[in-house]
Amino acid sequence: MLRLRAWLFFSLLLLIGILLVGTAPSFQACLKQEQPQAAATAAPQSHGTTVLTARSTRECLTRFYTENRDDIVAGFALILLLSTIFLWFAARDLVAGTHDFAKMQLRAYLGPSETFITGVAAGEKPVVECTIRNFGQTPAHRVSYWADCRVLDSMADSFERGPPEGGERTVNPGRDGFTIKSRLPEPLTEEDMSKIKLGTSAIYFFGAITYRDAFARSRKTQFRFQHGGVRLFGTEDMTLSPKGNRSS
């Protein structure tokens, strides 16, 4: 991208230079003066006319440079100044892009690691346990979260935000982390169990984690897991929901 911008910039300068010289009154007058002479001395062959025309153009360019030397030098100085400014902006953008890329590589990334559910039975209140880890390379500060567990229709799209829990903490990269536990507020009924097994309903575990990275930027991870359907029923596994998972 930077190379393309440089080519476009210098091509534009070259085009402007050609237009300025080609439309200059003194250069046009010189060409008109040389053309009759070239026509008078040229042989009938077309290649001879071409050679004389090129020679006339070269002589007019030489005369134009001689008559406008100071202005041309000033123009080159202006071009050099503009080129320096362009290179400064290009270098600044390159450094900024590298700095942003380094931040993305080094920043903290908090998210769920292992998630499982126990106690899925009629008359029981299942418990979901989820381990949150830092998958980045720098600590996450002022970490807080909220989480909830509900039985909802499998097509549900309304998930209410719960109250924040756990206070604030720092989570370092690697094996450091913490566990979120969430219990279903009401015991499962036989009807709930039937719908969960068929997959028309599911036990949803959802929430959000907020924190600040090492570069003092606020970050947020939203997560949503579900348990239901023939594939998961009877196990402790939960799977990521198609929606409700994003990170910033």
The string of pLDDT tens digits covering residues 39-72 is: 555 445 544 455 555 556 677 767 766 766 666 6
Residue 15: in which H helix or E strand, if any?
helix 2-22
pLDDT computed for residue 178 by the predictor: 93
pLDDT computed for residue 237 by the predictor: 95
Rounded CA separation 203/159 (Å): 12
Rounded CA separation 212/230 (Å): 40
Mean pLDDT for all residues in the chain? 80
Residue 147: which domain range? Answer: 110-247
In tens, the pLDDT along 159-204 reads 777 777 767 899 999 888 999 999 999 999 999 999 999 999 999 9
Q: Is 179 exposed, middle or buried (0-12, 13-18, 19+ CB in 10 A)?
A: exposed
If one counts the domains in the chain, the total is: 2
> Same structural domain for residues 156 and 240?
yes
Predicted confidence (pLDDT) at residue 95 exceeds the cutoff of 90: no
> Same structural domain for residues 124 and 221?
yes
- CB-based contact 208:101 (threshold 8 Å): no
Query: Which of 79, 105, 131 is the last residue in one of the domains?
Result: 105
Task: Give the three-state DSSP class for 218.
Answer: strand
In tens, the pLDDT along 120-170 reads 999 999 999 999 999 999 999 999 999 999 999 988 877 777 777 767 899
pLDDT computed for residue 77 by the predictor: 77
pLDDT computed for residue 176 by the predictor: 86
Predicted confidence (pLDDT) at residue 34 exceeds the cutoff of 60: no
pLDDT computed for residue 103 by the predictor: 63
Half-sphere exposure of 105 (CA within 13 A, CB side): 6
pLDDT computed for residue 80 by the predictor: 77
Query: Highest-confidence range of 18-22, 95-99, 138-142, by mean pLDDT?
Result: 138-142
Query: Which of 105, 120, 136 is the last residue in one of the domains?
Result: 105
- CB-based contact 168:191 (threshold 8 Å): no
CA distances from 65 to 15, 21, 73, 131, 172 (A): 17, 10, 10, 76, 68
> Same structural domain for residues 156 and 95?
no
